[in-house]
Each structure stands twice: as structure tokens, then as C-alpha cells.
Amino acid sequence: MSTQVDHEARLKKIQAKMDEQDIDVLIATRLSTVGYVLGAFVPWRGVAVIPRQGEPQLYVVGLDAERVKDDSFFKNVTAVAPQPGMAMWDQILSYLRARGLERGRIGIELGHSPIRIETFLLASEYEILRDAFPHATFNNATHFLNEIFIIKDEAEVESFRRAAEICDLGLGAVLKELKVGMTETEVAGIAEYAMRKAGSELNWTFTGGQEIGSGHRAAYYWGGGTPPTRKRIERGDNVVLDVHAMYNLCLGDLARNAIMGEPTAEQRELSDVFVAACNLLLHSLKPGATYGEVADKMDAFMDRTGYRQYALPGYGHGIGILGNEWYPVVMNSSVPYESKGDLVLQPNMIEIAALVLNRPGVGGLRMEMSVLITKDGNEPLNKVPFEPAIIER
């Protein structure tokens, strides 16, 4: 039986934090925040205005407003359009004025991210708010929202588990059909078709959808992005297979590898180091460990093997509702909105464990998988083995 998402409980979590920080109203612009609260896919610019008490009000492009309203748990959805009386920010300002918030404490989502769909408040939108309400106080709510989002509720865990299962199915379909002579885009299509049949709602990543890289394209130095091309897969190629699915707005991200034909001695050595590193990373993700400690352990292993220079110096990234694919990354650093080395792993966090080990001229290998932190350790939500598949076709 599926677990019903408790959107009212989610809203109350946010409103409790607003109460703690004395925020009267929150203007939520991030895609992940809007999806978390409303439960609908909102691909256009949408702004959810969340009062300290009561239901949120969503402002969204008119051409999609009725569909979004139908899909949302909360039904207060207002259509916006670039014409008199319907402009988004004119309507939002009217909402705030009607509630006497000209001098209020207004929460906003400020920040930065390498992820393009992290839709923080734009500078032009911030200017609109400040010009309209010069006596208001603006508070950045991004940090406390991230604290809420990194701990998954029961319904989220169930949906992340299904998204991971769908990714496993997609990768399995690819491994059954992959052969020399296929194009990277053809391989991506095999994965996409299998995952759509299994219920995936969106090929969500902006990095090329189902990422397939072969030969030299799998082995770029630190290369962690491989949008598929019309390049044909050749015998001897390493092939990176990085597939993505979405289920109830929760994201799946799975990367594994294939080698086309008998591996060379150098490819075998690279694979052996890679598999050992993957197992160490999975073992290290457990409650009580910090992100920095996990990264340090992985760096030390790479130093011992002599492969540190070939490893991307980050060993995972956060995952959540659509739009949330970065914070917190597994590094021993603290960069606002990106990494926090002293952050402690806790039960019900889900992290994408990740390893990129690319040796130009030899091959490249990538691992990504969803890992649920539990009370006693972790649960890998993906079940595909770490070892590269040897394909003799």
C-alpha cells in the first residue's frame, strides 16, 4: 500500500520554522519548494506565497494554471499573464498589501547553485519587493528550508525507492541490448522507453537527460556530464550509463558502466580501484559521520591507490523533490548553499553516492546511486552491481 503524502504536515513544518524566526510570510520561488508544498509539477516560473498561518497561494503562468490546480493538494492557484491586472508581481504585491505586510518580515529564497533549475529569487524580483516595501525586513529562508528538505518523510522515502527501482529497470534494459555500433542517443532511448513504461514522469536532468558517454567521451578529466551524442559505440570503449527517473516528483539518479569487449590490463586496474572505492563510499555513509569525514576517507583511499588525480574531488550530492539536486555535496568544505563539511548524516537523509574516476587514454567510470541513511547504517535503494558489465556484442 502506498503512503499518502501529508501536505498539511509539510506545510506545518515550514510554518513552524517561520514562527521560530518571526517570519510573517514566505515567498517561495524554488521549484523544489513549490513542489514540496503543493505536490504538483510546476515547470513554469511559479511563486508560492506561504503565510505563517493558513494555506499557501500559488501564482503560475495562466496557460498551465488549471492543470496545476488540478494536480495540487492546495487549490489556491492564481493565473498570471503579462497583461494589466494579471502580472505576477503586481498580484503578489496586492496579496501582501491586503494583509498589511508593508512593514512585515518577509522570507525569500536567496542563494546560488551550479544547478540551472534551482530557481532562487531573481535580482529583478528582489528589487520589485524592496521598492514596493522599503520598510519591510527581508530574511533569507533558504537555509532553514534546506534543513527541512534533507530529512525525508515516509512518503518521500517510498517514492525515492520507486524512482530508484525504475532506474534499475532502465539500466537493465540497456545492458540487455547494448552493442557495438549503437549511437549514444539510441542507448539513451532504450533507457528512456523502459523507464517511461515503468512509470517515470520526467527525464529530469538538464545535463542531457539519460547521459550516455562512450570512449573518449567517458574519460574527460573530472568529467561528470555526458549528454548523449550521435557518436557510435566502438569495441574497446568504456561506456558510462547515467539514467534518471522521477516518481511523485522524487528523483532517481543511477550511473553504472560497461566495457565493450575484453578489457585491457589498464582498464581492469581502473575498474578494480573503482569498485573498491565504491564499496568504501557506500560503507562510509552512515549516521553520525560528517560529510567532511566521508570525503577525507575517500581522498585518503585515492591517495593510497595513486588514483587521486583521476578522481573527481566530490563523492555525492543531495537529492530531493524536482529542482533539488545539489546541496549537500560530499566534500570537506563549507561553501554556502553547496557544501557543509561538518554536516552530520542522519536517519532519513537520502544522498546520491557518487564517484567519477576518469583516466584519459584509458577510460572513465561513473557511479551514482540513491542511498537512504538508516538508524544503523544505510540502505542502497539501487541494486545494480558496481562492477562494469563486460559486453561481447
Instruction: Tell me, letter by letter, the H, E, C secondary structure of 164-211.
Output: HHHHHHHHHHHHHHCCCCCEHHHHHHHHHHHHHHCCCCCCCCCCCCCE
One domain, residues 128 and 180: no
Q: Please give the grid coordinates belonging to residue 35.
A: 513542489
Domain boundary among 99, 114, 149: 149
Q: What global pTM score does this model have?
A: 0.96
One domain, residues 38 and 134: yes
Report the pLDDT value the prediction gives residue 326, as an integer from 0 to 100. 86
CATH of the domain at 27: 3.40.350.10
One domain, residues 187 and 49: no
Residue 193 within any structural domain of the chain: yes
One domain, residues 134 and 206: no
Domain boundary among 123, 149, 175: 149
Pairing of strands 238-247, 211-214: antiparallel
One domain, residues 214 and 287: yes
pLDDT 10s digit of each residue in the chain, 393 long?
457 899 999 999 999 999 999 999 999 999 999 999 999 999 999 999 999 999 999 999 999 999 999 999 999 999 999 999 999 999 999 999 999 999 999 999 999 988 777 899 999 999 999 999 999 999 999 999 999 999 999 999 999 999 999 999 999 999 999 999 999 999 999 999 999 999 999 999 988 889 999 999 999 999 999 999 999 999 999 999 999 999 999 999 999 999 999 999 999 999 999 999 999 999 999 999 999 999 999 999 999 999 999 999 999 999 999 988 889 999 999 999 899 999 999 999 999 999 999 999 999 999 999 999 999 999 999 999 999 999 998
One domain, residues 377 and 250: yes
One domain, residues 61 and 37: yes
Report the pLDDT value the prediction gives residue 2, as an integer from 0 to 100. 57
CATH of the domain at 253: 3.90.230.10
Report the pLDDT value the prediction gives residue 207, as an integer from 0 to 100. 87
Helix (H, G, I), strand (E, B) or coil at 159: helix
- In 3D, which of 33, 59, 61 has the Cα closest to residue 47? 59
Residue 265 within any structural domain of the chain: yes
CA end-to-end span of the chain: 41
Q: How many domains does the chain have?
A: 2
One domain, residues 133 and 187: no
Measured from the Cβ of residue 232, the count of other Cβ atoms closer than 10 Å reads: 14
Return the bridge partners of 385, or none: none
> Which residues span the domain enclosing 185?
154-391
Report the pLDDT value the prediction gives residue 393, as an integer from 0 to 100. 87
Residue 1 within any structural domain of the chain: no
Residue 353 within any structural domain of the chain: yes
One domain, residues 194 and 336: yes
Residue 344 within any structural domain of the chain: yes
One domain, residues 56 and 141: yes
Report the pLDDT value the prediction gives residue 115, as an integer from 0 to 100. 79
What region does 248 belong to: left with phi over 0, alpha with psi -120 to 50, or beta?
A: left
Domain boundary among 149, 166, 194: 149
Residue 2 within any structural domain of the chain: no
One domain, residues 161 and 141: no
One domain, residues 304 and 280: yes
